[in-house]
Structure 1
Amino acid sequence: MRAFTLLLMIPVTSLLAAAAPPKQNVLQDSAKDNASNTKDRIGVGHFSEWSRATKKEFLIDWQAGREWEWTLVEGNEGGDLDSMTAALAWAYHLEHSTQNSSKPIKAIALLQTPTDALDLRPENKLALDNSKMTSGHEDLLTIDELPEDPETLSRKIRGIVLVDHAIPLRKWSGSKILSIFDHHKDSGAGPDAEPRIFEKTASCTSIVSRQMLDELEELPGEYHMPHELLELMLSAIAIDSKGLTSDATTDADIEVSKRILKRSNWHDKDLMDVMEDLDDRLGDAKKDLDALSVRDLLRRDWKGDLVDTPSPRTPTVSLGFASIPFSLDKQIDKTEFEELFDWFAIHAAWTAEIGVDISVILNKYKVRDQKTGEKTKIRELVLVVRDDVRIDQAQADSLFKVVKEALEASDLPLKLWHRASELAPRQIVWTHESDAGRKIIRPIIEEAVVGWK
């Protein structure tokens, strides 16, 4: 363990129980403040106060019919630390960089994750607590707190900014796309957006932070950058880049991390020490999922949207993906009856609740070879099609067949799961030993759905 240690949370938290006692450092006062706070503490510092005040102002303006003044900065619905941080950072920048101009912008970060699902990512809670935000995430605007349906609200607001997200969800299609920042594939959305940046980086927060600092340094006078936000930005970059050591790490991730560090309370620390420590602590928190139920695991990293089809009877279907870091067998052990039927009953209740026609569960885990001790990465792909949302039984049978055949005809090395014979109609589970995750599998399935008749 390095001599340098960042104290990210109150020391009594279970997430850090095994951590080595921290040495004296610049975060000592922050740690004392956190330790003295109650369970229902109010956030402290400029970043928390700004976030809470912005949320209040947005709701007041909505009540007064002034939605048209607002820009919503939206990440993806998976709600990971990168997506959340990028949205918060850019909303803060939009407001503060224009506050002394002739056209000040009202902007707020919208987390497209329900409030009660935020803590299903323990690394988010850890990072937000370190940033001294109010407990219960009361400082943040989440999708379930919107006072109006997104389809309606999208046509009233000034527009949206997409971060860590290449294309808006269907429910936001009525909004003008003002800017896009993404580190994935350009899907062609928002051709007139400005800035419109697609760049391969480990973290989307790196792209947002660089643009933010570039514009900040060009202002006649810099606005205040709270250290809590700066440290949240470093946290997001660290966990997505494995402490700036992953193969996905780029020069852009490294250079902007240096610039952020210089402005933070950790400015006298070594960059790689800081990023390694952040990655260690956040990574440990991220893996602390044993207490989550099957329903929570399904909700924790869920992404989906409506997909158009050429079928005149069913022009759209709802498609959703969950990513879970446990095998299906281990998830079954988490159910009340520890049986296969119980897992599918929980899955069915969740997908019925959110109105999904096609659900895809992507499990990932490792198996240790008893002889060599080496670990092998195993992935599972669970496909289920319902017949009680937008499509009837005959349509569901047809759609299941089309998607199943598309996956089997792909380059994925799929093998039937060891209990596949026990599955019900329109349920199938495969295993495979490849690096194909959601980014590879989702386009295969979406293309099959789009071609379904």
Structure 2
Amino acid sequence: MRTSKLLTLTAIASASYAAPSDNVQKVVRPSTIRAAGAIETGVGHFSEWSRGNKKEYLIDWQKGLSSRWIHVQGNEAGDLDSMAAALTWAYHLEHSTANTSHPVQAIALLQTSTDALDLRPENTLALHRSQMSSGHSDLLTLDELPEDPETLSRDIKGIVLVDHAAPLRKWEGAPILSIFDHHQDLGAGPDSSPRIFAKVASCTTLVAERMLDELEALPEEYHMPHELLELILGAIAIDSKGLEEATDRDRKVAQRVLKRSNWHKENLDDRMQHLADILKRAKKDVDHLNIRDLLRRDWKGDMVDTPSPRTPTVSLGFSSIPFSLDAQIMKTEFQELFDWFAIEAAWTAQTGTDISVALNKHKVKDSHGKKHKIREIVLIVRSDVRINEAQADSLFETVKKAVEADKTLNVKPWHRAHELGRWQMVWTHENEEAGRKIVRPIIEKAVMAWD
């Protein structure tokens, strides 16, 4: 571990409300917080509410009263936007109805494991700045659910989706009560309300906007903790690159939130740029992660329907990794190609994935010293879960042809493609904008047409 990059808890706390002009160069590592010893209880109303909310949820489950609860959940990648949006709306639902004849019980469910939260250093930093308890003990994560999602989805009152257009297959038994998303509308929950889709930088913008509108319409406003307001601003800041890529809607909501925060006297652009800089530095601090952690830190997967009567569904998963495959290979124990694929196979065996795609990206300098983003697509099919070898051959060829035929990607074989094994392919391309949002629909369409 590079101890020069670590901050003590005291130093982090003192930097939590640093002015935009302060030069905060370092980021917090998850291990820094854990090294402090036992769980440290968070301070402030937001941490207290979140901890109490989680306790009440688990007590009600024990009593067989899960039907009282609404899950507010983001996507399974568990990024800061999903987390902030889920926490904000769960807090709002509970507090806005607390003094009514029909109080709502809602909890934010982070659809990732507790330890996976620390694979996104920006999450760790943002939560620490919001004075939450160490070890993420205030939060409910997927691995802490006392029942499997398929069963629990039939018991709870319903789900609210944030930063997610449709529920994962395992939650399809739950009614969809509301949706907030800034991606493509997939038609899920047509009768849900509110049902908000809009092209903004951050989904948290949409949640915070609705929250503020409803809060200001109440006969008496409930307490909005500054820690939650700052978490909201951080999510909008990192997704909008400090408002540089913000829509008018992002900017207006951020200004409304700022006026209620401890930073109300500061300039909006200065504060948001400062937050973006701090969180961006944290987000990039992933050099210490091993291959398994890189694969799972931004993993999104679900079941996909096919027309095949033999295999009506297959499991498809995507990872996004900010390193080239060559650089990742050098992180393995043997620093060999086979080792990377062995680690990847161990991960997808654990998740029960039939077809996996690793989306890598890195930058290279041209002869003029200008940096260019290079993207890689790693395709792997396995035959030991739902499909046999003949089906694996067919599925692999179907997806491979779809990727190679797509003019948007214009892929080229990776320089070591000739060394790859059966049902393995790696391509490179230079479409800087073609990340998961572009590649996933291409591959999903191919899988859905595979017979």
TM-score range, shorter chain: over 0.9
**Counterpart residue number, 2:277:** 280
How do 1:153-164 residues align onto structure 2 when only pairs under 5 Å count?
Answer: 153-164=152-163
**Counterpart residue number, 2:427:** 430
Q: Is the 8 A contact 2:20 2:270 kept in 1?
A: no
Matched pairs, number:
428
3-state secondary structure, aligned to 1:120? coil
| Cα displacement (A) at 1:381 | 0.2
3-state secondary structure, aligned to 1:307? strand
* Alpha-carbon separation, structure 1, partners of 2:285 and 2:198: 31
Deviations 1:21-61 (A, max 9, x none): 9769xxxxxxxxx9xx8663111100000000000000000
* Alpha-carbon separation, structure 2, partners of 1:381 and 1:449: 16
**Counterpart residue number, 2:107:** 108
* Alpha-carbon separation, structure 2, partners of 1:239 and 1:349: 32
* Alpha-carbon separation, structure 2, partners of 1:9 and 1:221: 40
| Cα displacement (A) at 1:10 | 4.0
**Counterpart residue number, 2:236:** 237
Among 430, 438, 441, which residue is 1:440 paired with?
438
**Counterpart residue number, 1:227:** 226
Residues 1:97 and 2:96 are matched in the alignment: yes
| Cα displacement (A) at 1:140 | 0.2
Q: Is the 8 A contact 2:109 2:141 kept in 1?
A: yes
Q: Letter of the 1:446 partner, please give it.
A: E
* Alpha-carbon separation, structure 2, partners of 1:148 and 1:184: 30
* Alpha-carbon separation, structure 1, partners of 2:424 and 2:89: 42
Q: Is the 8 A contact 1:113 1:143 kept in 2?
A: yes
Q: Is the 8 A contact 2:355 2:380 kept in 1?
A: yes
* Structure 1 gap segments, 5+ residues each: 1-7, 25-33
Q: Taking structure 1 as reference, are residues 387 and 119 closer, same or farther at Cα in structure 2, changes over 3 Å only?
A: same
**Counterpart residue number, 2:378:** 382
**Counterpart residue number, 2:68:** 69
Q: Is the 8 A contact 1:180 1:193 kept in 2?
A: yes
* Alpha-carbon separation, structure 2, partners of 1:360 and 1:21: 39
**Counterpart residue number, 2:139:** 140
* Alpha-carbon separation, structure 1, partners of 2:447 and 2:10: 49
Q: Letter of the 1:311 partner, please give it.
A: S
Q: Letter of the 2:68 partner, please give it.
A: E
* Alpha-carbon separation, structure 1, partners of 2:287 and 2:328: 10
Deviations 1:370-415 (A, max 9, x none): x311001100000000000111111111100111111111111100
* Alpha-carbon separation, structure 1, partners of 2:133 and 2:20: 25
Q: Give the TM-score, by structure 1 length.
A: 0.92
How do 1:45-444 residues align onto structure 2 when only pairs under 5 Å count?
Answer: 45-246=44-245, 249-369=246-366, 371-411=367-407, 412-434=409-431, 435-444=433-442
Q: Letter of the 1:57 partner, please give it.
A: E
Q: Is the 8 A contact 1:309 1:451 kept in 2?
A: yes
* Alpha-carbon separation, structure 1, partners of 2:156 and 2:123: 28
Q: Please tell me the root mean square deviation across aligned C-alpha atoms, in Å.
A: 1.7
Q: Letter of the 1:191 partner, please give it.
A: P
Deviations 1:242-265 (A, max 9, x none): 00002xx10000000000000001
Q: Taking structure 1 as reference, are residues 23 and 198 closer, same or farther at Cα in structure 2, changes over 3 Å only?
A: closer
* Alpha-carbon separation, structure 2, partners of 1:391 and 1:45: 51
| Cα displacement (A) at 1:312 | 1.0
* Alpha-carbon separation, structure 2, partners of 1:21 and 1:277: 5
* Alpha-carbon separation, structure 2, partners of 1:142 and 1:20: 32
Q: Letter of the 2:184 partner, please give it.
A: K
| Cα displacement (A) at 1:97 | 0.2
Deviations 1:53-85 (A, max 9, x none): 000000000000000000000000000000000
* Alpha-carbon separation, structure 2, partners of 1:20 and 1:83: 26
Q: Taking structure 1 as reference, are residues 20 and 375 closer, same or farther at Cα in structure 2, changes over 3 Å only?
A: farther
* Alpha-carbon separation, structure 2, partners of 1:256 and 1:23: 25
* Alpha-carbon separation, structure 1, partners of 2:274 and 2:442: 38
3-state secondary structure, aligned to 1:57? helix
* Structure 2 gap segments, 5+ residues each: 1-6, 24-32
Q: Is the 8 A contact 1:91 1:107 kept in 2?
A: yes
Q: Letter of the 1:312 partner, please give it.
A: P
Q: Letter of the 1:440 partner, please give it.
A: I
Q: Letter of the 2:236 partner, please give it.
A: I
Q: Is the 8 A contact 1:9 1:126 kept in 2?
A: no
* Alpha-carbon separation, structure 2, partners of 1:20 and 1:365: 32
Q: Taking structure 1 as reference, are residues 357 and 61 closer, same or farther at Cα in structure 2, changes over 3 Å only?
A: same
Q: Is the 8 A contact 1:9 1:130 kept in 2?
A: no
Residues 1:450 and 2:444 are matched in the alignment: no
* Alpha-carbon separation, structure 1, partners of 2:357 and 2:55: 37
3-state secondary structure, aligned to 2:85? helix
3-state secondary structure, aligned to 2:422? coil
3-state secondary structure, aligned to 2:376? strand
Q: Letter of the 2:125 partner, please give it.
A: L
Q: Letter of the 2:410 partner, please give it.
A: P
| Cα displacement (A) at 1:20 | 11
3-state secondary structure, aligned to 2:208? helix
* Alpha-carbon separation, structure 1, partners of 2:372 and 2:10: 35
